[in-house]
């Protein structure tokens, strides 16, 4: 498979390593030094693009790929206000778009169990639910896209909650997310249910970026010959 890497930070380097290990060809790498060369690529010379950049550039990159018949796997977070527009463009152009806030297989199982736990805990209002995420100091957006996806899963079961609020602020009708940026932490997410008597926690702690990179390359492989908008639930049949 011919892969175009858009974004060449730590994740981009890890994806390159995993993709070549799995027998794929990296036909191009786009980073901040050569963004003007993106227009050299289209559906005739690229089988899939894997996009991991910054919030301010993600939508522009996804838009370009969808308009130029390049199936695109996007892992950038912090740009979700444009996600609906990206999905609409994909449908209009009969393209292929795969989005996930986190490509780790373990994290997506965490999402699955998170919704199940929320479905049980919502019957016990004495337990206050909150979410905590910790990442490395180079991560720009707060809270993480994974934390927002986690909250979205809880909200499917908590009908009295209306979105989230970033700590230290609190609101009775919102779920509080606390965000910390510490050293080189890859990514830790914790869902906490706390009452006066006890605490229940569900946690995912990433040990390296390899799991994220493997998931992104697997998504690009899975996306081949498909049309539409997809996510990890589709790929993992969750």
- What pLDDT was estimated at residue 78? 85
Tokens of 68: 């130029």
Q: What percent of the chain has pLDDT over 70?
A: 100
- What pLDDT was estimated at residue 96? 98
Position with higher pLDDT, 118 vs 145:
118
- pLDDT(68) > 90: yes
Tokens of 101: 């806030």
Q: What is the pLDDT of residues 125-136, one digit of tens each?
A: 999 999 999 999
What class is the 2-103+210-236 domain? Answer: alpha beta
- For residues 71 and 50, is the Cβ–Cβ distance under 8 A? no
| pLDDT band (50, 70, 90) for residue 118 | very high
Between CA 14 and CA 59 the distance in angstroms is 22
Which one from 24, 132, 135, 204 is the annotated catalytic residue? 135
- What pLDDT was estimated at residue 13? 96
- Cα dist. 94→13, 59, 85 in Å? 30, 18, 14
Residue 54 appears among annotated catalytic residues:
no
Strand intervals (E) in the chain: 2-6, 25-30, 48-51, 72-74, 96-99, 128-135, 164-166, 175-181, 187-194, 199-206, 228-230
DSSP letter, residue 171: -
Mean pLDDT score of the chain, rounded to an integer?
95
First to last CA, the chain: 26
Q: What is the pLDDT of residues 171-185, one digit of tens each?
A: 999 999 999 999 989
- Rounded to 10 degrees, the C-alpha dihedral 221/225/229/235 comes to -40
Which one from 139, 161, 174, 227 is the annotated catalytic residue? 139
Q: What is the pLDDT of residues 176-219, one digit of tens each?
A: 999 999 998 989 999 999 999 999 999 999 998 899 999 999 99
What class is the 105-206 domain? Answer: alpha beta
Distance of CA 185 to the CA centre of its chain: 17
- pLDDT(77) > 90: no
Tokens of 25: 């060809």
Closest CA to 179 of 170, 188, 113: 188
| pLDDT band (50, 70, 90) for residue 58 | very high
- What pLDDT was estimated at residue 34? 95
Residue 60 appears among annotated catalytic residues:
no
Task: Report helix, strand or coil for 141.
Answer: coil
What does the domain layout of the chain look like in residue ranges? 2-103+210-236, 105-206
- For residues 90 and 236, is the Cβ–Cβ distance under 8 A? no
- What pLDDT was estimated at residue 130? 97
């Amino acid at each position: 498979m011919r892969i175009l890497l858009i974004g060449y930070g730590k994740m981009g380097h890890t994806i390159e390593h995993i993709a070549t290990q799995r027998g794929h060809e990296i036909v191009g790498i786009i980073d901040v030094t050569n963004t003007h060369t993106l227009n050299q690529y289209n559906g005739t010379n690229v089988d899939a693009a894997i996009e991991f950049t910054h919030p301010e550039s993600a939508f522009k990159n996804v838009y370009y790929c969808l308009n130029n018949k390049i199936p695109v796997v996007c892992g950038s977070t912090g740009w979700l206000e444009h996600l609906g527009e990206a999905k609409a463009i994909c449908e209009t152009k009969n393209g292929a778009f795969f989005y996930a806030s986190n490509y780790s297989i373990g994290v997506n199982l965490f999402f699955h169990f998170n919704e199940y736990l929320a479905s049980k805990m919502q019957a016990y209002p004495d337990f206050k639910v909150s979410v905590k995420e910790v990442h490395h100091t180079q991560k720009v957006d707060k809270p993480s896209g994974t934390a927002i996806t986690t909250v979205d899963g809880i909200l499917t079961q908590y009908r009295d909650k209306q979105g989230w609020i970033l700590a230290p602020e609190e609101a009775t009708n919102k779920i509080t997310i606390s965000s910390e940026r510490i050293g080189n932490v890859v990514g830790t997410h914790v869902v906490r249910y706390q009452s006066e008597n006890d605490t229940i926690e569900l946690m995912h702690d990433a040990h390296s970026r390899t799991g994220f990179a493997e998931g992104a390359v697997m998504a690009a492989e899975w996306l081949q010959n498909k049309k539409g908008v997809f996510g990890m639930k589709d790929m993992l049949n969750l």
